[in-house]
Amino acid sequence: MKPILREWLTEAEARGLMKRVRREVSPIHELAAVGKLLEPQYGAFFERVAGSAIPVVTGLAASREAMAQSIGLSVRELPDRFNDALTRLTPCKTLNREDGPFAVKAHILTGEQVDLGILPACLHHEKDSARYLTAALCIVKDPETGIRNVSIHRHEIKDRSHLGALLLPRHTNQIFRRAEALGRPLEIALAIGVHPALLLSSQATTRLGVDEFEIGGTLLGEPIELVPCETVDLEVPVECEIVIEGRILPNVRENEGPFGEYPRTYGPRAPRHVIEVTAITHRDTPIYHTIIPASMEHLLLGGIPREAAMLQLVRQTTPNVKSVHITPAGGCRYHAVIQLDQQYKGEAKNAIFAAFASSSEIKHVTVVDTDIDIFDTQDVEWALANRVQAGRDVFVVTGAMGNKLDPSSADGVSDKLGIDATIPVDAERGRFQKIHIAGMENIRLEDYL
Ligand code: MN
């Protein structure tokens, strides 16, 4: 698979996954509203966006199926292939300036020319403080090791050349603190308009010191090609549409937010990091990508890597686990359903403990048997209705670490709930069997209508 956004867009359109919007839309709420109404069945390509010459795409891979297809995989193959990519990295290929000219360098804006206002950045939700960049790969290098880190953060547009950034206590933040301790800014490059596989690999649950582009390389089956930036000592994917170069300023914090986030609540306004932009480079008629917060595109980018990590960990303690689903209604963070081919008494509870251990964000875990489709919430609720006795099957752990964005938590301190919705191992299984109309799976309705 070529890691090229434009090639995937052509294919997504051919597969009927992408709608083209020719009418002009406003980037203030209107674009997000139309994109949200089309997802998860369709992504949207907006040809004309008011106030900018640049078209906008959203919902690059708006469903689990589309996400898998963009990498040439089936939904079933995705978690194992993702875990494989985590352990078998593919080094990137860095191109020299002489290998150019590069399309992404067709326009190079520096100094006074820098103007974030050329971008069709969107105001998504009603109470958002400003227009935000939501789909930029954020590339930095550890000042101590020189190893690259790739992630996604939200960026508030403050003025022509300044961005706010929410750096949660993860790798970019950790790396920035090392630079800040030395009194130095941290150079940063934001790459907009990249292939879904690069977005997905940037969300991998991995240790500091792994270059997420090397995960993407394995996922796509070829090294990711990078080109040097103009004003910072960093490299960006050669096949991207727009690059913003700059530095995160040391000892500077400014208010950022509120911003509508993945759990469908607003993250509060608070003092946060500031990026000074030193250059913008882009293609001729570039494509700008926005991820609508809390859309399926957003949720799955977080959910799929988390499912892969959970599956690996849960299988270590409970090998009979078949698959896991971290569900969208829980923001692809809080709720997990585990499918287990239970052989021994108590296995389901062990699987639940391992699921809690896979991420502090996991709050409620349900385990079901292999006759339940864990991607079908109706079927999971059916198992809750028919296979659970609360006094026996439900347990609570109080006062664990959760997620601060959960408004029901005490500033991130949260209870955890486990539900064993499996048939007891020693029960008479016939009583739990689902009804079935014999031969229904062979009926073709068009033969009758
Ligand atoms: Mn990382």
pLDDT level of residue 169 (50, 70, 90 thresholds): confident
Residue 288 is predicted with a pLDDT of 98
Q: Which CATH number fits domain 76-284: 3.50.50.60, 3.40.50.740, 2.30.110.10, 1.10.600.10?
A: 2.30.110.10
Whether 304 has a pLDDT exceeding 80, the answer reads yes
Cα 419 to averaged position of ligand 1 atoms, centre (Å): 32
Structure tokens, 181: 């301790």
Cα 362 to averaged position of ligand 1 atoms, centre (Å): 20
Cα 206 to averaged position of ligand 1 atoms, centre (Å): 6
Average pLDDT over residues 43-51: 98
In sequence order, the β-bridge partners of residue 137 are 152, 191
Cα 140 to averaged position of ligand 1 atoms, centre (Å): 10
Residue 2 is predicted with a pLDDT of 81
Q: Are 102 and 238 in contact (CB under 8 A)?
A: yes
Cα 186 to averaged position of ligand 1 atoms, centre (Å): 16
Give the pTM: 0.95
**Share above pLDDT 70 across residues of the chain, in percent, rounded to a whole number:** 100
Whether 1 has a pLDDT exceeding 80, the answer reads no
Structure tokens, 8: 């995937």
**Three state DSSP letters for the chain:** CCCCHHHHHHHHHHCCCEEEECCCECCECHHHHHHHHHCCCCEEEECCECCCCCCEEECCCCCHHHHHHHCCCCCCCHHHHHHHHHHCCCCCEECCHHHCCCHHHCEEEEHHHCCHHHCCCEECCCCCCCCEECCCEEEEECCCCCCEEEEECCEEEEECCEEEECCCCCHHHHHHHHHHHCCCCEEEEEEECCCHHHHHHHCCCCCCCCCHHHHHHHHHCCCCEEEECCCCCCEEECCCCEEEEEEEEEEEEEEECCEECCCCCEECCEEEEEEEEEEEEECCCCCEECCCCCCHHHHHHHHHHHHHHHHHHHHHHCCCEEEEEECHHHCCCCEEEEEECCCCCCHHHHHHHHHHHHCCCCCEEEEECCCCCCCCHHHHHHHHHHHCCHHHHEEEEEEEECCCCCCCCECCEEEEEEEECCCCCCCCHHHHCCCCCCCHHHCCHHHCC
Average pLDDT over residues 41-68: 97
Integer Cα distance of 231 and 281 in angstroms: 10
Cα 275 to averaged position of ligand 1 atoms, centre (Å): 19
Integer Cα distance of 366 and 95 in angstroms: 48
Whether 3 has a pLDDT exceeding 90, the answer reads no
Q: Which residues surround ligand 1, an ion (CB under 5 A)?
A: 149, 171
- Average pLDDT over the chain reads 97
What are the extents of the domains in the chain? 76-284, 318-432
pLDDT level of residue 353 (50, 70, 90 thresholds): very high
CATH topology (fold) of 318-432: UbiD C-terminal domain-like (3.40.1670)
Whether 167 has a pLDDT exceeding 80, the answer reads yes
Cα 189 to averaged position of ligand 1 atoms, centre (Å): 15
Integer Cα distance of 262 and 273 in angstroms: 20
Cα 8 to averaged position of ligand 1 atoms, centre (Å): 25
Residue 415 is predicted with a pLDDT of 98
Cβ neighbours of residue 414 under 8 Å, at least 6 residues apart? 363, 400, 401, 402, 403, 406, 408
Residue 257 is predicted with a pLDDT of 97
Cα 199 to averaged position of ligand 1 atoms, centre (Å): 13
pLDDT in tens, 105-144: 999 999 999 999 999 999 999 999 999 999 999 999 999 9
Residue 383 is predicted with a pLDDT of 98
Whether 21 has a pLDDT exceeding 90, the answer reads yes
Cα 137 to averaged position of ligand 1 atoms, centre (Å): 12
pLDDT in tens, 236-263: 999 999 999 999 999 999 999 999 999 9
Average pLDDT over residues 288-296: 98
Q: Are 203 and 302 in contact (CB under 8 A)?
A: yes
Residue 386 is predicted with a pLDDT of 98
Q: Which of 117, 127, 130, 137 shows the shortest CA–CA distance to 49?
A: 117
pLDDT in tens, 404-418: 889 999 999 999 999
pLDDT level of residue 219 (50, 70, 90 thresholds): very high
pLDDT in tens, 382-401: 999 999 999 999 999 999 99
pLDDT in tens, 364-376: 999 999 999 999 9
Largest CA distance in the chain: 76
Residue 85 is predicted with a pLDDT of 96
Cα 41 to averaged position of ligand 1 atoms, centre (Å): 31
